Amino acid sequence: MKQAIKKSLQSLLLVPVMALGVSGVVGVVQAPQAAAQGAGCTQDASGGIQGGADCAKGEDQQTDLFGPTGVFKTITNVLLYIIGAISVIMLIIGGIRYVVSGGDSSAVTSAKNTILYAIVGIVVAILAYALVNFVVGSFAAN
């Protein structure tokens, strides 16, 4: 019984894998032809790797991935801002729970844990911000 279930699951998983594999091969075969038909692209290899990248790039695609206005820095700044805001909100909630606990030891412990984890969240967000800025700065073109 287990073997039958295992084989049926394998066959069910094999179909999407094969479909993705075929679409990947077809996409690789058709991609150079489609890129060569774009504006400013030539069939010869005189542009090298950069020429191929320029041909494959869309008209409205972001060109600066790193640096102060890059995609990575923008996305990480937004996510870190959200994490920091949630941590501050949880810090406030923990403080309110601590004040309202009324001396109940389990409520006080729960409120202290909320405050502690919120402070840990703020510290992690600040350290992540510093780390992301360091890494993005090291990849940015000088």
Same domain, 126 and 75: yes
Give the pLDDT confidence score for residue 89 in this predicted structure: 93
52: left (phi over 0), alpha (psi -120 to 50) or beta: alpha
Residues 6 or more apart from 91 whose CB is under 8 A from it?
A: 115, 118, 119, 122
Give the pLDDT confidence score for residue 92 in this predicted structure: 93
Q: How far apart are CA 95 and CA 101, in angstroms?
A: 10
Residues 6 or more apart from 77 whose CB is under 8 A from it?
A: 129, 132
Residues 6 or more apart from 45 whose CB is under 8 A from it?
A: 51
Q: How far apart are CA 5 and CA 38, in angstroms?
A: 49
Query: Is 61 a domain residue?
Result: no
Same domain, 117 and 75: yes
What tokens were used for 25?
A: 């091969």
Give the pLDDT confidence score for residue 111 in this predicted structure: 92
Same domain, 50 and 86: no
Enter the pTM of the model: 0.51
Decide: helix, strand or coil at residue 17: helix
Domain that holds residue 22: 2-56
Same domain, 22 and 48: yes
Give the pLDDT confidence score for residue 29 in this predicted structure: 47
Same domain, 106 and 49: no
Tens of each residue's pLDDT in the chain, 142 residues:
767 666 665 665 665 656 666 555 444 444 454 444 545 565 555 666 767 777 777 676 666 666 666 777 788 888 888 988 898 999 999 999 999 988 889 999 999 999 999 999 889 888 988 888 787 777 765 5
Same domain, 51 and 83: no
Nearest-10 Cα torsion for 112, 118, 124, 126:
-120
Give the pLDDT confidence score for residue 36 in this predicted structure: 47
CA distances 54 to 35, 41, 140, Å, are: 9, 8, 19
Give the pLDDT confidence score for residue 125 in this predicted structure: 86
Same domain, 51 and 90: no
